[in-house]
Amino acid sequence: MATPSPRKPLADLIEELLATDGPLPIVAAGDPVLRTTIEPYDGHLDAALFSRFVQALRITMHAAPGVGLAAPQVGVPLRIAVIEDPAPVPEEVRLARGRVPQPFRVLVNPSYQAAGPERAAFFEGCLSVPGWQAVVARPAAVRLTCEDELGRPVDEVFTGWPARIVQHETDHLDGTLYLDRAELRSLSSNQAMAERWTQPTPDQAAASLGFEMPS
């Protein structure tokens, strides 16, 4: 008896997800797919299905709305993520957080390394942990290596908020949620964020909630 191909069920799963128009359902924390280290993508999907899936990720990211989305967040164990950030923020926030516009990008088999010792801490949220945000200290600059949607190599340094997005989405592919890296005393509901912690930096939150900001 022939051994069943491991690729067919994955393709079938994606075809089933794409059978309905509109955004894909986002998987919430507690689903094992979000705690799995995803193996490298090696052409599991044919070109047409890959393109359709990437487009569905983009539609879902926009609808959420968010600035990044990883395949496991829609229940698909593929080492693929998408990012895009129009960065519609006030100038004060842009300067404090280094938040600049990012065009739509597809990250295939991404990994990152810190590009220098500097760290930055800001509130961060996740589409798979709806309703909450917490302060996460991350490297302020990272070197990203991956491939794009056409299989072309990417080796690029990201700084500021784009570096945070790259780290957050790549972490998803290693079974890591932002809460694993967060200062838990900073955990705040979206309502509390809107009422109390909208400043460009979390310094006031740190003083009020009793946690230390990284030096």
Please identify every residue annotated as catalytic.
Answer: 169
User: Exposed/middle/buried for 112, CB within 10 Å: 0-12, 13-18, 19+?
Assistant: buried
Strand-by-strand arrangement of the 182-189 sheet = 119-125, 132-139, 182-189
Is 62 annotated as belonging to a binding site? no
**Separation CA 92–CA 200 (nearest Å):** 7
**Separation CA 90–CA 81 (nearest Å):** 27
**Separation CA 125–CA 121 (nearest Å):** 13
Is 146 annotated as belonging to a binding site? no
| Residue 37 DSSP symbol | B
**Separation CA 188–CA 132 (nearest Å):** 6
The answer to whether 23 and 59 have CB atoms below 8 angstroms apart is yes
Query: Which two structure tokens, joined as six digits, stand for 86?
Result: 């129009």
Cβ neighbours of 197 (radius 10 Å): 19
Binding residues: 126, 168, 172
Binding residues for Fe cation: 126, 168, 172
